[in-house]
Amino acid sequence: MAVLVVADHSGGTLADGTARTITAALELDATVDVLVAGEHAQSVAEQAAALNGVNRVRICEDAAYAHQLAEPMATLILSIIDEYSAVMAPGSTQGRDVLPRVAAVLDVAQLSEITRVIDKNTFERPIYAGNVMATVACDESTQVITVRTTAFEPAASGQSALIEAVPAPETPVAARFVEESVVRSERPELGSAKVVISGGRGVGSAEGFKLLEKVADELNAAIGASRAAVDAGYVPNDYQVGQTGKAVAPDLYIAVGISGAIQHWAGMKDSKVVVAINRDEDCPMIQTADYALVADLFDALPELEEGLAQL
Ligand code: FAD
């Protein structure tokens, strides 16, 4: 039996999370197939086939998968599930939407957001906003697993696996696509950026975030935010890092005017180096960061931008 990884993709590009999920899948089983479903998905299938360790890519091109809605996606996965002992997907919006349906139809318990594969039946996953790591055993007949992608390195590319077509099963019509609202940005994607600079309530306004943008321009960084900054309307909701926002694991995370509540830490604690800029030397973010600058952010950020521009 093998593992089936459900690919995440948009705009003709395979998501980085899929390459990371393949790494997790290879720790579970040596035979890993990737399912690519979409209306025009050939180039995505080729990107998946190039990832080292992939046994074969199974492609299903049909208008029913144009927006990868959960109902048709789950039906497609279920049509080939008998060939697999496990199905895995990134713990993205897509994976979180599709896999629970698969688990429900199979009548098995889903394992969500695994961060480590210990052996074929044993996994690690965070609970209580990442404050406790649980070791969980899963002896379901088919394992249905979402992956905390920041915990795994992406599979490298260089090979060329077989690409095979899968017929599209009859698709339920209960849900239909209405509209997608996408924010286009020149910046790196928050979930996979190497450098992230995030602002909190201390930034004070949407105008204040322009100071972060200038530093981000110098560092080619993505911009994130605490929930307090999002709730205050300084930045859009999809900037939120944390327990109820995005999980990030950049090489460098700069937290500006963020106190460091556990719910925020839950989303950025896997960052390699954390820098805190805060005027409160006793706040948790300053206390736990690798490098702490106790300063007023309205003085520190322009100085930082100026210094970086001179490099
Ligand atoms: P504050 O805690 O108010 O901190 C603001 C900081 O700015 C302070 O440390 C202050 O010293 C500093 N500051 C102010 N002015 C300046 C200045 N001029 N210069 C320098 N520093 C300055 N939070 C998240 O972030 N992400 C989540 O996903 C999330 N999920 C949650 C889920 C649940 C169920 C709950 C209950 C809460 C969640 N929260 C989340 C909220 C979390 O508990 C905190 O309330 C939030 O993270 C606080 O945001 P903050 O650090 O920006 O604000």
User: What are 64-82's pLDDT values in tens digits?
Assistant: 999 999 999 999 999 999 9
Nearest CA residue ID for atom 52, ligand 1: 200
pLDDT tens digits for range 243-280: 889 889 999 999 999 999 999 999 999 899 999 999 99
Mean pLDDT is lowest, of 52-56, 69-73, 184-188, 270-274, for: 184-188
Listed residue (215, 260, 221, 219) closest to 242, CA to CA = 260
Closest residue CA from atom 28 of ligand 1: 242
CA 144 to chain centre: 17
Distance 81 CA to ligand 1 centre (A): 43
CA Rg value for the chain? 21
pLDDT band at 174 (very low <50, low <70, confident <90, very high): confident
CB neighbours of 185 closer than 8 A, spacing ≥ 6?
Answer: none
Average pLDDT for 212-221: 96
pTM: 0.80
Residue 302: both structure tokens together: 């322009």
Stronger pLDDT, 132 or 51, i.e. the higher one = 51
Q: What is the pLDDT of residue 258?
A: 98
Q: Which residue has the tokens 């070791």?
A: 135
Percent of the chain with pLDDT over 90: 86
Give, in order, the Cα–Cα distances in Å from 188 to each of 38, 194, 219, 221. 24, 8, 11, 7
Q: What is the sign of the dihedral through the CA atoms of 83, 89, 95 and 101?
A: positive
CB of 266 closer than 8 Å to CB of 130: yes
pLDDT at 41: 96
The pick from 223, 264, 269 for probing ligand 1's pocket by mutation, whose C-beta has the most ligand atoms within 8 angstroms, reads 264
Q: What is the pLDDT of residue 192?
A: 83
pLDDT at 163 (0 to 100): 98
Q: Whose CA is nearest to atom 37 of ligand 1?
A: 263
List of residues 6+ apart from 131 with CB closer than 8 A: 262, 266
Helices (H) and strands (E) in the chain, counts: 9, 17
Q: Tell me: the pLDDT tens digits for 18-37? A: 999 999 999 999 999 999 99
Q: Is 298 in the pocket of ligand 1 (CB under 6 A)?
A: yes
- DSSP letters, 162-231, are EEEE-PPPP---S-----------SSPPTTT-SEEEEE-GGG-STTTHHHHHHHHHHHT-EEEE-HHHHH
Q: Which residues are annotated as a binding site for FAD?
A: 201, 226-227, 240-244, 257-264, 278
CA distance to 87, 146, 224, 267, 280, per residue, from 100 (Å) = 11, 9, 28, 22, 43
Residue 144: pLDDT over 90 = yes
Minimal CA–CA distance to 264: which of 228, 237, 298? Answer: 228
Ligand 1 in reach of 279 Cβ (< 6 A): yes
What digits encode the pLDDT tens for the residues 79-92?
999 999 999 999 99
pLDDT tens-digit readout, 279-309: 999 999 999 999 999 999 999 999 999 999 9
Instruction: Check pLDDT > 80 for residue 219.
Output: yes
Residue 304 C-alpha to ligand 1 middle, in angstroms? 22
Does 283 contact ligand 1 (Cβ within 6 A)?
A: yes
Mutate to test the pocket of ligand 1, among 263, 269, 280 (most ligand atoms within 8 A of CB): 263
Residue 176 has pLDDT above 90, yes or no: no
Q: Which two tokens stand for residue 218?
A: 């110098």
What is the pLDDT at residue 184?
A: 75
61-65, 172-176, 223-227, 263-267: the lowest-pLDDT one: 172-176
> Residue 233: pLDDT above 90?
yes
CA of 226 to the centre of ligand 1 (A): 6
Spacing, Cα 114 to ligand 1 middle (Å): 26
* Distance from residue 281's CA to the centre of ligand 1 (Å): 15
On whether the CB atoms of residues 62 and 69 are closer than 8 A, the answer is no
Residue bearing tokens 């713990």: 91
Q: What is the mean pLDDT of residues 111-138?
A: 93
Residue having the nearest C-alpha atom to atom 26 of ligand 1: 242
Using a 6 Å cutoff on CB, does residue 74 contact ligand 1?
A: no
Quick count: other Cβ atoms within 10 Å of Cβ 13?
Answer: 11
Average model confidence (pLDDT) across the chain: 95
* Ligand 1 center from residue 202 Cα (angstroms): 8
Q: Specify whether the CB–CB gap between 105 and 141 falls below 8 A.
A: no
Q: Which residue bears the tokens 């736990």?
A: 288
